[in-house]
Structure 1
Amino acid sequence: MKCLVALLAVALLTPPQDSSAQSPASAAPDLLTLDTVVLSVPMADGKPALTFTLGDLMRVYKDPGLSVAVVEDNKLKWAKGFGVVAPGSNSPVTTDTLFQAASISKPVTAAGGLWLVEHGRLKLDEDVNLALKTWKVPENQFTEKEKVTLRRLMSHNAGMNVHGFAGYEQGTPVPTMQQTLDGLSPANNPPIRVTVTPGTECIYSGGGVTVEGLLIKDASGERFEDFILRHVLLPAGMKSSTFEQQLPPELAARAAIATRSDGNAVPGKWHIYPELAPDGLWTTPTDLARFGIELSLSRQGKANHILSQAMTKEMLTPQCLDAPGDPTGGVGLGFGVGYRGHPGQFRHTGGNDGFESYLFMDADSGWGIALMGNSDSFHLIYPHIVETIARVRNWQYTAKQVPLQETLPLIEARLGMETALATYERARTADPVESKSSAALNSFGYHLLAEKRLDDAIKVFRRNTELYPADANTFDSLGEAYLKAGKKDLAISNYQQSLKLNPGNDNARAQLKKLQP
């Protein structure tokens, strides 16, 4: 079974293009170029580390384009586009190129909801069914004593389901809001319902934010798209941003094309996200930076074009803690907030089909960064960009440890299969945590499978079954590789073993039904 890790690829592409920003920030010295080394992979036995430039990573991960905006002293300091707007295109990404922000839509939506609270048209801690007009949250055993409130929706503490949405290919039927909420055809999500007692758990819920968006629409009496444009986007100076799913021609001409991790464009250029509130924003990193600056200054009482200082502070205060009793981080009203003892830091990531993004701000120090890419693999690149710029600018930013499952394809691309496997064996032996997980080798096998290197993929998956014979997923993956290689009998035997180890493996059961009608 495929892990929830983007498939990697190492075939060389046309070298990415380096495009200067068309904005005042472009006059600043370059903080990043395609030749900037953004990742160093340590090697064992005294061998020199492998280094990878931004251009290297874009080629390895088949990311056509990306765009970056940097904030310092609560001002846009630098912005730049890299690569091209679509696979095989000659049109460069610039700072005017639009991307889907995906889940970074959520804090933008939250700002609109909080505007309504400040203007007396919504209440943070009232049962939302008192204000909803066109649909009501269905009552059940979980809502008998605790109710869904706006505060809980914004902080993913309302007990609602549906983590995220897959979107709809352009030209296919798109559900109405009510069909989405009730999971009725042509909606591709289950019904959005309360599945845990509200106020008891942090459960990330795009479904809950969809209800939040409907609440904003009902309370304002306007289309959600129009309300957010007037009360959030334009006041923040986000003139290249919209929640419209049918982009106006001028914006459509500037939009990047969504790209899968195998380097192929998403059919129809990009998906439609009719839920709007949790995932529908089109924007640029420069506009996201402006949103971050607005909130950073409002927290100090220096901007307040959208929210008051008091409400901005409330927005950026932990409401639902990541871990019980941990005061250093959690979920605010729309953003993740307060990381590792830095109360002024807030952030959000985003990922729609073919687009990924990241916004991080430190309101105490006035620095921040926004990054957007038109690839499902961008999450494998942007952390290294942030960490590189943070080192150069001396930001207080904690770098993440690069997991083994990300380094194996890079090592293989540079030094070959045997070195990659030997590196894995050493790491597995040395690290007690790694020795208990099949994830790294499984991910590596899927990278090879995506490259259509079937024999190598089978070799890796088979080794995973030897190392983790009690893990049903390893046999499921090996079965998939054998199936792609046309080895039906071996595929059947491995799917059977997977199902024996995990009778709840629906994928193995479905494959066996196809293979043994």
Structure 2
Amino acid sequence: MKTIKFIIVALIIVVSDYTFKINAQQNSNLQQSSEFDALAVTIKEKMEKHKLYGLSVVVFEDYKVIWTQEWGIKAANSDDKIDANTSFSTASTSKAVVAMLCGVLEEKGLIDLDSPISKYLQRWKLPKSNFKKSGQITWMQLLSHTAGTTQGGFADFYEGDKIPTIVQSLKGELLPRYDKEIGFIFEPGTDWEYSGGGYVIIQMALEDHFKKPLSELMQEHILTPLGLENTTMKQPNEDGFLTNVAKVHNSKGEIIKTGLPITPQVAPSGMWSTPSDLSVIAIEMQNALRNKNNKVISNAVAKRITDIVTLDKIGGWSAGWRRSFGIGNLDWFSHGGSNTGVGGEFMATMNGGNGIAILANGDKPNRMPVMGFLRNEVITMRGWKKPIQKSLLHKAPQELISAIQGPYLDFLFSAQVIDKIFEENGEVYINSPLFEFILNKKKNKMFYLGNNTFKIEDYPNYVQFNLSATNKFEGIVIYRDVDKKNKVIIKKEAVRNHKTELINAFMQNDINDAIITYKKVKKEAPSLNYEAMLNEFGYQFYIENNMEKAIAVLEFNAKEHSSSYNTYDSLGEIYELTGAIKKSIANYKKAAALNTSNDYKERVAQKVLELTRKL
């Protein structure tokens, strides 16, 4: 009898415990649903404020999807709503998936990523260069942007345009942004420079070697095995292209031409997909990294393509994946995408199975404020954050703080912005415009670990400051692991110089004060590439939706460098984006008069014709 009573009591305890857990889970799910519902309302309001037509998101946690949501319409003046199966042009996110394909093909013994890619090229050969190792660049160097190749990114094409083949693209033909063949700017393996052209070389090698279009290779080895039905590398002018797609829009909310960009440079930016399919890719990678529940990507391939190749400039890059984000003090692999009128964010944690995929069909000023807010709200709401281990922390010596305070040319991500280190209430902080832009934070705490070394909040690398015997700042060492593998040594002259002063002037002052500083700096350091810097400042202000300052900077650049067609081309583009059609036409015509390329003159003539029809 006692045994029976004991069993009954035990069963009651077990059932009660199970019921408690079920109720707790249900309450948690209700709270989660309520939080996401409230966020969905806020995002809709922000889309209306920023004139963004369509947005789609998937959030995953603990290796499974926990939220999907779509807002808006596929195209202006349409009632066709975006749904979970609506695909967007993913732009540069394509590169990460191409790296996955290359990893899988290597594991199957079909290519060798450490061998010279020249062995696989048939239709085109690498150009001659003054750099000794340029003829021996490897797949891995191209995948990680350490090959030294040029052609950073590409303009989109549309039905009716003259569309280059990839051979013509590599030769610099029919390209709005380039007028010469892809080349080299440093000895392969010694630096980092983002190069979409490097991925076109990869595309060429894959297609030459396998005698198939890249879209077919991707379908065979990645998309079909993962069951991705709404992802393709086929282009809108090809048979078999997707039918449920979002069109691209300019900053005024107008559909750009046909709304369907055609990208012959498929490897760097030609993939179309949905956040749902991207989440499948991310979770497969995450499962492969923990070697559990992965179906297509092996543990070896996942590690191969996410292992950091370099910390130079960007703060961390692997084969295809950006590894420089440390949001929430977590380790991420990611790859966003940004083309005119469309773009997204795609990021996942190396451990824990968390992440987010967002795609939107608006231009940078329309989509970026909304996507950034959405990303940050999700990360905060879900508590994706790891505290800094307090037992490792020390109080920073005052002589160290005094030595490192002040402005620096950005050393975290090598952006054309100014970082500022300062002391506040006995703590050390860094103000970085990149952190402000990405995370909406005006300051990030710097945790002192000893030996002149800090761990910066939301940044994945360690930062060590080198001081002289008299406690004067001399340089910085950036590293990820305690063994300091891939460490980057930055000399004082690289982060505190005339460029620092110039960038600070344009970012902090009005245009007239900035020009005064510009003239002073130019007199002191005449060899700097002022045209390129001013052009970059202008586009940075455009991204920040500061149109008045963007135009003022680009107008000044055109006056300063009146013999450069590119300054007028940039003005033509910015005026077009802001709706000043007559000024846009005038500047495009000036650019065409200065450029001797017949291809460029033809493209400008076509552009002018299109703009004239809008008057």
Whether contact under 8 Å (2:149, 2:198) holds in the other structure is yes
Q: Which runs of 5+ in 2 are unaligned?
A: 1-28, 388-431, 442-499, 520-533, 539-550, 570-586, 595-615
Secondary structure of residue in 2 paired with 1:234: helix
Is 1:172 aligned to residue 219 of structure 2?
Answer: no
Cα gap change, 1:213 to 1:467, in 2 (>3 Å): closer
SS of residue matched to 1:271? coil
Residue 363 of structure 1 and its aligned partner are, at CA, apart by 3.0
| Paired residues for 1:46-57 under 5 Å | 53-57=42-46
User: Given the alignment of the two structures, is residue 215 of structure 1 paired with residue 205 of structure 2, yes or no?
Assistant: yes
Q: Is the 8 A contact 1:169 1:271 kept in 2?
A: yes
Choose which of 190, 208, 218 in structure 2 pairs with 1:200: 190
Using the TM superposition, give the Cα deviation of residue 438 of structure 1 relative to its aligned residue in structure 2, in angstroms: 2.7
Alignment deviations for residues 318-377 of structure 1 (CA, whole Å, 9 cap, x no partner): 1021459xxxx5111100126449675200110122111110101311111000000113
1:347 is matched with 334
The aligned counterpart of 2:323 is 337
Matched, 1:111 2:96: no
1:230 matched to 2:220: yes
Letter in 2 for 1:362: T
Deviation of the 1:220 alpha carbon? 2.5
SS at match of 1:277: helix
Q: What does residue 420 of structure 1 align with? A: none
* Residue 374 of structure 1: aligned partner: 361
1:173–1:186 CA contact under 8 A, matched in 2: no
* SS in structure 1 of the partner of residue 226 of structure 2: coil
Tell me which residue corresponds to 1:309.
Answer: 299
2:368 paired with 1:364: no
1:170 shift after superposition? 1.6
Q: Structure 2: how far apart are the matches of 1:163 and 1:99?
A: 22
Could you tell me which residue of structure 1 aligns to residue 7 of structure 2?
none
Please say if residues 258 and 269 of structure 1, whose CA atoms lie closer than 8 Å, have aligned partners that are also in contact: yes
Q: Percent identity?
A: 26
Over 3 Å counting, the alpha-carbon distance change for 1:98 and 1:249 in structure 2 is farther
- In the alignment, residue 331 of structure 1 is paired with which amino acid? W
Displacement of 1:133: 2.3
1:384 corresponds to 2:377: no
**DSSP 3-state at the match of 1:238:** coil
The reply on whether 1:62 has 2:109 as its aligned counterpart is no
Q: For 1:172 and 1:145, how far apart are their aligned partners in 2?
A: 33
State the 1:385 CA deviation: 0.4
- Residues 425-463 of structure 1 show CA distances to partners (whole Å, capped at 9, x for unaligned) of xxxxxxx9999343477xxxxxxxxxxxxxxxxxxxxx5
Deviation sequence 1:56-103 (CA, Å, 0-9, x none): 321232210100001111112221101111123222211111100100
Amino acid at match of 2:252: D
State whether residues 121 and 208 of structure 2, in contact with CA within 8 Å, keep that contact through their aligned partners in structure 1.
yes
- 1:509/1:222 Cα in 2 relative to 1: closer, same or farther (>3 Å)? closer
Relative to 1, partners in 2 of residues 1:333 and 1:159: Cα closer, same or farther, differing over 3 Å?
same
Name the SS for the 1:278 alignment partner: helix
Q: What is the letter of the counterpart of residue 220 of structure 2?
A: R
Deviations 1:94-147 (A, max 9, x none): 111110010000011111111121122211221111122222212321244772
Q: Which secondary structure does the structure 1 equivalent of 2:320 belong to? A: coil
CA apart distance, 1:249: 8.1
CA distance in 2, matches of 1:343, 1:135: 42
- Equivalent-residue separation in structure 1 for 2:164 and 2:562 (angstroms): 35
The match for 2:384 among 395, 406, 412 is: 395
- Structure 1 residue aligned with 2:234: 244
Contact kept, 8 Å, 2:150 with 2:198, in 1: the verdict is: yes
Cα distance in 2 for residues equivalent to 1:434 and 1:83: 42
Q: CA 1:401 to 1:201, structure 2 compared with 1: closer, same or farther past 3 Å?
A: closer
Question: 2:95 aligned with 1:100, yes or no?
Answer: no
Quote how far apart the aligned CAs of 1:198 are. 0.8
Please list the CA deviations of residues 153-182 of structure 1 after superposition, one character each: whole Å capped at 9, or x if unmatched: 110001000110101122222111211111
Structure 2 counterpart of 1:369, one-letter code: I
Does the 8 A contact of 2:56 with 2:84 survive in 1?
yes
Matches within 5 A, 1:480-495: none
Cα 1:509–1:115, aligned 2, differ >3 Å: closer, same or farther? closer
Give the 3 Å change call, closer, same or farther, for CA 251–274 of structure 1 in structure 2: closer
Q: Name the CA distance, whole Å, in 2 between partners of 1:358 and 1:467.
A: 33
- After superposition, where does 1:259-278 map in structure 2 within 5 Å? 259-278=249-268
Residue 159 (structure 1) aligned to one of 148, 151, 166: 148
CA distance in 2, matches of 1:467, 1:31: 45
Q: TM-score, normalised by structure 1?
A: 0.70
Cα gap change, 1:401/1:153 in structure 2, threshold over 3 Å: closer, same or farther?
closer
For 2:597, the equivalent position in structure 1 comes to none
The one of the two structures with greater contact order (alpha-carbon pairs below 8 A, sep at least 6) is: 1
Shift of 1:151: 0.5
- Paired position in structure 1 for 2:512: 465
TM-score when scaled to structure 2? 0.60
Report 1:378-457 matches (<5 A): 378-396=367-385, 401-403=435-437, 436-439=504-507
Give the match for residue 46 of structure 1. Answer: none
1:85 and 1:374 in contact (8 A); partners too: yes
Matches of 1:222 and 1:509, distance apart in 2: 40
Q: 1:113 to 1:512 in 2, by over 3 A?
A: closer
Gaps of 5+ in 1: 1-24, 38-52, 408-431, 442-462, 478-490
1 or 2, which has the higher helix percentage?
2
Aligned pairs, how many? 412
Task: Flag the 1:397–1:88 CA change in 2: closer, same or farther, 3 A.
Answer: farther
In structure 2, the CA distance between the partners of 1:59 and 1:469, relative to structure 1 (3 Å rule), is farther
Counterpart-to-counterpart distance in 2, 1:225 and 1:507: 34
2:357 match: secondary structure? strand
In the TM superposition, what is the alpha-carbon distance from 1:239 to its structure 2 partner? 1.5
Distance 2:324 2:503 in 1: 33
Structure possessing the higher radius of gyration over alpha carbons: 2
Cα distance change, pair 471–196 in 1 and its aligned pair in 2 (3 A): same
Instruction: Go from structure 1 to structure 2 and tell me whether the alpha carbon gap of 1:121 and 1:249 turns closer, same or farther (over 3 Å shift).
Output: closer
On the 8 A contact 2:88/2:361 being kept in 1, the answer is yes
Check 1:187–1:178 CA distance in 2 against 1; reply closer, same or farther (3 A cut): farther
- Partner SS, residue 70 of structure 1: strand
Shift of 1:255: 0.6
CA contact (8 A) 1:87 1:263 kept: yes
1:112 and 1:216 in contact (8 A); partners too: no
Secondary structure, aligned partner of 2:516: coil
Deviation at 1:311, TM superposition (A): 1.9
Change (3 A) 1:230 1:514: closer
Measure, in 1, the Cα distance between the counterparts of 2:503 and 2:175: 44
SS state of the match for residue 29, structure 1?
A: helix
Distance of 2:339 and 2:326 partners within structure 1: 28
Is contact 2:346-2:356 (8 Å) kept? yes
